[in-house]
Amino acid sequence: MPTAESPLRVDLAVRGTAVLEQGVVPDALVLVRGERILWAGPAEQAPEHEAARALAHDGLVLPGLVDLHCHGGGGASFPDSSTAEEMLTAVHEHRRHGTTSLVASLVTADADTLRDRVAQLARLHRDGEIAAIHLEGPFLSEARRGAQNPAHLIGGDPELVRELAQLAGGALATMTLAPEAERADEAIDALAESGAVPSLGHTDGDSAQMTAAVARSGAALRRARGRSPLPTATHLFNGMRPIHHRDPGPALAALDAASRGQIVVEVIADGVHLDARTVAHVFSLAAEDCVVLVTDAMAAAGMADGRYRLGALDVTVEDGVATLTEGGAIAGGTAHLVDVLRLAVREAGVDLVAAVRAASTVPARVLGMQDEIGSLAAGRRADLLLVDAALRPVTVVRGGREV
């Protein structure tokens, strides 16, 4: 601890009401040196310091957001970009809006395309531009495929899982698969062994199949001792057989598992995929830190209405809602994660701290990166999102640098 003769020298001191690990702190101080947070807590308890730059903020200081499920933005799409440079357009679009850690999501495609896209994204991961890779498919239900190309849906293929994980070079974090898919159990085991988290979704399976897949995934992850001991559910309710009182289906089974702390459920709280009351119910019923907010964003995030692509399929965006040009299924989101956070708090009435954790701390845990990102605490990367009273982004800091 510095003395009066040797105050702590820092590059940035941010003061204001902050959401820290202990909750909302009205007069907090976050001290940054280089890429790291040196200290965070109540300002009155801060060590003596000298800051090269001091910033007083009258809104809220949040941790940089972490999006587990994002297909693109700014006019660029991870599934449709053939080079890492093109993909960076989407990364930067979301980063400017406070998503300082982004998981790049692909969609169902042929094996060669998946190999190529994974290899490009692995470059971005090595360069520190993305946090990880998410594969949405191809082991999905045709009946609940949503905006996935049916031509390339296949049964579980553990060999393909291992090959893509190797190409990813440690960057493959999650993969969406349907519990009822052929050889799904083998794919689940292969994912866990490869250091990735099974994400259950795009499923027409029943409640028992989802419950069994949650148990299988949890056991496989515990054996592997990898990123996370808990599987996830890909965008709960969306791409799943609906709940019926004589057929509870996979969504209710996943929510039941989340209430027992056995799974982390993704929620797209963008006002399109789910009603605000549905979002509120999920947060109310799930155990603490078992809900993660995601965008499922595609190329149109941050862009005007118009025609876009998602994988091999045409998408039309009208009034900010993306749907398949043929068929009309919802084809991803157009929001940034801070928009999803804002809707969860202001329209669904979710507690601010719970919502912030669902967009930062919880996804960081799913990635196994909770000691690196996801909270404003000493030792973490200096990722900060300063928002106004309406939870709109004002300033973004990533790795100690203003974006």
Tell me how far apart the alpha carbons of residues 181 and 200 are, in angstroms, rounded to a whole number.
11
DSSP code, position 179: T
Q: Where in the chain is the domain with CATH 3.20.20.140?
A: 65-366
What phi and psi values does residue 171 have, to the nearest 5 degrees? -90, -15
CA 233 to chain centre: 12
Contact 257, 264 (CB under 8 A): no
CB 101 within 8 A of CB 70: no
Q: How far apart are CA 314 and CA 318, in angstroms?
A: 13
Instruction: Please give the class, per CATH, of domain 8-63+377-402.
Output: mainly beta
Q: Which residues make Cβ contacts (< 8 Å) with residue 394, sequence separation at least 6?
A: 57, 59, 386, 387, 388
Instruction: Please give the structure tokens belonging to residue 30.
Output: 């976050």
Q: Output the tens digit of pLDDT for each of the chain's 403 residues.
A: 455 568 999 999 999 999 999 999 999 999 999 999 999 999 999 999 999 999 999 999 999 999 999 999 999 999 999 899 999 999 999 999 999 999 999 999 999 999 999 999 999 999 999 999 999 999 999 999 988 999 999 999 999 999 999 999 999 999 999 999 999 999 999 999 999 999 999 999 999 999 999 999 999 999 999 999 999 999 999 999 999 999 999 999 999 999 999 999 999 999 999 999 999 999 999 999 999 999 999 999 999 999 998 887 899 999 999 999 988 889 999 999 999 999 999 999 999 999 999 999 999 999 999 999 999 999 999 999 999 999 999 999 999 999 9
Fold of 65-366: TIM Barrel (3.20.20)
Question: Could you give the CA distance from residue 109 to residue 118 in angstroms, rounded to a whole number?
Answer: 12
CA distances from 171 to 183, 348, 360 (A): 24, 33, 19
Report the candidate in 203, 199, 236 with the shortest Cα–Cα distance to residue 214: 199
Range(s) of the chain covered by CATH 2.30.40.10? 8-63+377-402
